[in-house]
Amino acid sequence: MPEMGARFALRVSDLRKAYKDVIAVDDVELKVRAGECFGLLGPNGAGKTTTIEICEGLTPSDSGEVEVLGLRWNSDAAKLRQRLGIQLQETQLSEKLTVFETVRLFRSFFRQGPAPSEVIALVQLEEKRNSRVGALSGGQKQRLALACALVGDPDFLFLDEPTTGLDPQARRQLWELIEQFKLAGRTILLTTHYMDEAERLCDRVAIMDHGKVIALGTPRELIASIGAEHVVEFSAGGAERAVETGAMRGIEGVRDVHLENGCVLMHVTELHRAVPALLDELTRQGVPLTELRTHSASLEDVFVALTGRHLRDE
């Protein structure tokens, strides 16, 4: 089906991969459309990196099908490598080389692509062109890694945790770069455990946990799927007896109530009705309120609703 190959830049089905004692990827199915930015979101150890590295042809799978740009790794590896841009998690480029020397080395591996200085300009490292890699900041190193992924003018960009370990300013700078590449029409597959990153960059997101895809859709769809737009979080720390959460479920517009670290989390549809009702209920139970927070529902809340855990819990 040639038209399917054109529509989907990546098709993964029935993918499995087990290491000695853990199943890293368990029956994963993904379809990434050409030109879309697709995110794999999940906590550390969810199987994101294994999945993306199988798609990159770096890790063999135990079973399953992977088709990238309509090609397969076992028959078209050389052709595929020329068309992919890859950024790995935690690659340390050689510290003794300069930015330009590094980009020029990577450029030499590809048959086509922009000149090294063009790519350096693109990731805004012109001023650091002749600096040693060892002298760069974390954000600059990450942008250099991105430059090395872009030297082959790739049709498909794989980014594994592109902003992990960066300070907020460096993260925003990298996001802006990735957004530019989206505008240029490239297909992007990225993994992240930052829900704000996924919400900002990704057209569609697959949430992974324990090697499985547990939810799939646009960020908006996923947030809507928990049936509530807001999250109310409160604690009654000083109370001698526990709060009766049963009564909370009865409040109008409350979809879900659960306890977490001594806090109560409620997913609600209408904040202006739920909060007064909650305060009345707490007064009735005679429980003093020590903390009350509300926020709009996010992908984090989707993950919590699906697994009962936070994304960054180990």
Partner 1 sequence: MSDVTAISGAGAREATRKSLRGSALADHPLVQLTMVRFREFMREPEALFWVFIFPILLAAGLGIAFRNRPADVLKIATVAPQLTLSLRQERLLDVQQLPPAAAEEALRTGKAALLVQPGPGDTVVFRYDDTNPEGRTARMLADRAVQRAAGRTDPVASSDELIREPGSRYIAFLLPGLLGMNLMGSAIWGLGFAIVDARRKKLMKRLIATPMPRHYYLLSFIFSRLLLLVIEVGAVLGFGALVFHVPVRGSWLDLAALCVLGSLSFSALGLLIASRAQTIEAASGLMNLVMMPMWIVSGVFFSAQRFPDALQLVIKALPLTALIDALRANMLQAADFSQLAPQLSILGAWLVVCFALALRLFRWR
What burial letters (b/e) apply to 270-292, b meaning 16+ CB within 10 Å?
Answer: ebeebbebbeebbeeeebebeee
Q: Single out the residue of 16, 35, 110, 294 in contact with partner 1 (rule: CB under 8 A).
A: 110
* Residue 107 binds to partner 1 (criterion: CB under 8 A): yes
Q: What is the DSSP letter of 132?
A: B
Q: Single out the residue of 22, 115, 135, 242 in contact with partner 1 (rule: CB under 8 A).
A: 115
- Compute the distance between CA of residue 187 and CA of residue 32 in angstroms, rounded to an integer: 8
CB 231 within 8 A of CB 267: yes
* Residue 112 binds to partner 1 (criterion: CB under 8 A): yes
* Residue 106 binds to partner 1 (criterion: CB under 8 A): yes
Per-residue contact flags (x/-) with partner 1 for residues 44 to 73, judged by CB under 8 A: ------------xxx---------------
Q: Indicate the residue among 57 and 139 with the shorter CB distance to partner 1.
A: 57
Place of tokens 């088709």: 67
Residues in 73-102 at the binding interface with partner 1, rule: CB under 8 A: 78, 81-82, 84, 86, 88, 90-94, 96-97, 101
User: Largest Cα–Cα distance in the chain?
Assistant: 73
Tell the smallest beta-carbon distance from residue 135 to partner 1 (Å).
Answer: 12
* Residue 148 binds to partner 1 (criterion: CB under 8 A): yes
The pair phi, psi for residue 70, each rounded to 5°, is 75, 5
The pair phi, psi for residue 150, each rounded to 5°, is -100, -10
- Compute the distance between CA of residue 24 and CA of residue 42 in angstroms, rounded to an integer: 13
Reported as type and span, the H/E element at residue 31 is strand 23-33
Quote the distance between the C-alpha of residue 167 and its chain's center.
Answer: 17
- Compute the distance between CA of residue 204 and CA of residue 210 in angstroms, rounded to an integer: 20
* Residue 108 binds to partner 1 (criterion: CB under 8 A): yes
Q: Indicate the residue among 188 and 266 with the shorter CB distance to partner 1.
A: 188
Tell the smallest beta-carbon distance from residue 191 to partner 1 (Å).
Answer: 15
Q: Indicate the residue among 91 and 245 with the shorter CB distance to partner 1.
A: 91
Enter the tokens of residue 286.
């005679």
Q: Indicate the residue among 181 and 234 with the shorter CB distance to partner 1.
A: 181
Q: Single out the residue of 121, 216, 247, 271 in contact with partner 1 (rule: CB under 8 A).
A: 121
Per-residue contact flags (x/-) with partner 1 for residues 155 to 184, judged by CB under 8 A: -------------------------xx-xx
Enter the tokens of residue 246.
């049963």
The residues binding partner 1 (CB under 8 A) are: 56-58, 78, 81-82, 84, 86, 88, 90-94, 96-97, 101, 104-116, 118-119, 121-122, 148, 150, 152-153, 180-181, 183-186
